[in-house]
Amino acid sequence: MRQAIIPFGPQHPVFPEPVHLQLKVEDEVIREAIPAFGYVHRGLESLVSIRDLHQMVHVVERICGICSMIHALCYCQGMEELMGVEAPPRARFLRVIWSELHRIHSHLLWLGLFADSFGFESLFMELWKIREKVLDIQEATAGNRIIVSVNVIGGVRRDLDLSQRKAMLDDLQEVEQAVRSVSGVLLTDYTVSRRTVGKGVVTGEQARELGVVGPVLRASGIRQDSRMLGYAAFNELELEPVVETDGDCHARCRVRLREVFQSIDLIRQAVSRIPEGELSVKVRGKPEGEAVARVEQPRGEVFYYLKANGTKNLDRLRVRTPTFANIPALVVMLPGMWLSDVPVVVLSIDPCISCTER
């Protein structure tokens, strides 16, 4: 049988991320897939030599245009460990609220793109219509739709008063009802299940060996969520990781859908338990040493390594985003699939190439 090499390129009509896959195809069945990226590398890690410690919060937020607040949260946590300060309790609860809002909007974005990848455009539009309400909540409370800039080293910059919290809970009630009315389509529709069940299977053993993170790991049956580390008030909230056992695209879709409801529940818990107090502590001085911080982004576990040398600029900032850990899984998932399944399977790991390449 003769093989053809098809470049599934950085520009593709159905796939919004600039990742390149070199597919060795034999009669429409994929035999081998090699990923490559590097089309949007901005070299943001080298900006540490120009921007000082506090200005880097704004640079780090712009690594990703979907999970931006959680990058800033991880950086601030690493810097707080280096400088030996701790954010006050009210700030930690506020950080939880905005992180979970980010997680809801990111999962709704992904669910829409996933529906679009097998051609279901009306479901894509419905899900993004629901997402607009979440973005309005973020704009009304924090000042901007996605790049919210609420984190500073030592706490947060903005507060949520009683009327804002009540309005947020009312809006989230509408979001929850709307997602529930649409979730029946994703879970039980015949065409959706024909395109996603049994595609791109990663078993639990393979997932552990490849080192995948996030919903891809939890859909293969492994109960691991970095929020269980207990950073930023998560140790005071009740959290049970969402786990499915099938390991295919439909299982990942179910994990993310259930996480939307879990995030709404976490926000309700945080709003009811938020303590009074100040918003941030004053941070002074120039730190020295190394620190490591890990946080759960919507796509998985993000890892930050910070090295400071006593000046106002950091020596090295290293960011490893979850998509970077999930891309090697594509080499294992894709062989055996049809060529038309490639967009669905690649989208099911939730790639965010701007995060990956920084």
Name the token pair of 134. 């979440």
Site membership for another protein, residue 171 (CB under 8 A):
no
Pairing of strands 29-36, 20-26: antiparallel
Tell me the closest approach of the beta carbon of residue 127 to another protein, in angstroms.
11
Phi-psi region of 284 (alpha: psi -120 to 50; beta: other; left: phi over 0): beta
Site membership for another protein, residue 208 (CB under 8 A):
yes
Give the chain's count of helices (H) and strands (E): 13, 8
Q: Which stretch binds another protein (CB under 8 A): 102-110, 207-215, 262-270, 278-286?
A: 207-215
Tell me the closest approach of the beta carbon of residue 12 to another protein, in angstroms.
20
Measured from the CB atom, the residue of 273 and 318 that comes closer to another protein is 318
Measured from the CB atom, the residue of 14 and 291 that comes closer to another protein is 291
Region 291-310 residues binding another protein, contact defined as CB under 8 A: 291-292, 301, 303, 305, 307
Site membership for another protein, residue 139 (CB under 8 A):
yes
In the sheet with 314-320, reading across from the earlier edge strand, the strands are 288-297, 300-309, 314-320
Residue 326 CA to residue 14 CA, distance in Å, equals: 20
Measured from the CB atom, the residue of 4 and 125 that comes closer to another protein is 125
Measured from the CB atom, the residue of 37 and 118 that comes closer to another protein is 37
Q: In the Cβ-directed half-sphere of 270, how many Cα atoms lie within 13 Å?
A: 28
Structural element, H or E, at residue 60? helix 56-61
Residue 259 CA to residue 277 CA, distance in Å, equals: 30
Q: Which stretch binds another protein (CB under 8 A): 105-113, 246-254, 267-275, 320-328?
A: 320-328
Residue 262 CA to residue 241 CA, distance in Å, equals: 9
Site membership for another protein, residue 190 (CB under 8 A):
yes
94 vs 58, 74, 99, 277, CA distance in Å? Answer: 19, 15, 9, 11
Q: Which stretch binds another protein (CB under 8 A): 11-19, 122-130, 232-240, 267-275?
A: 122-130
Residue among 236, 342, 267 nearest 104 (CA): 267
Site membership for another protein, residue 32 (CB under 8 A):
no
67 vs 86, 145, 221, CA distance in Å? Answer: 23, 12, 25
Of 3, 16, 34, 166, the residue at the interface with another protein (CB under 8 A) is: 34
Of 43, 162, 272, 284, the residue at the interface with another protein (CB under 8 A) is: 43
Q: Which residues bind another protein (CB under 8 A)?
A: 34, 36-38, 41, 43, 45-46, 49, 51, 54-55, 57-59, 122-123, 126, 129, 136, 139-144, 147, 149, 157-158, 182, 184-185, 188-190, 208-211, 226, 228-229, 289-292, 301, 303, 305, 307, 315-316, 318, 320, 324-325, 327-328, 331, 357
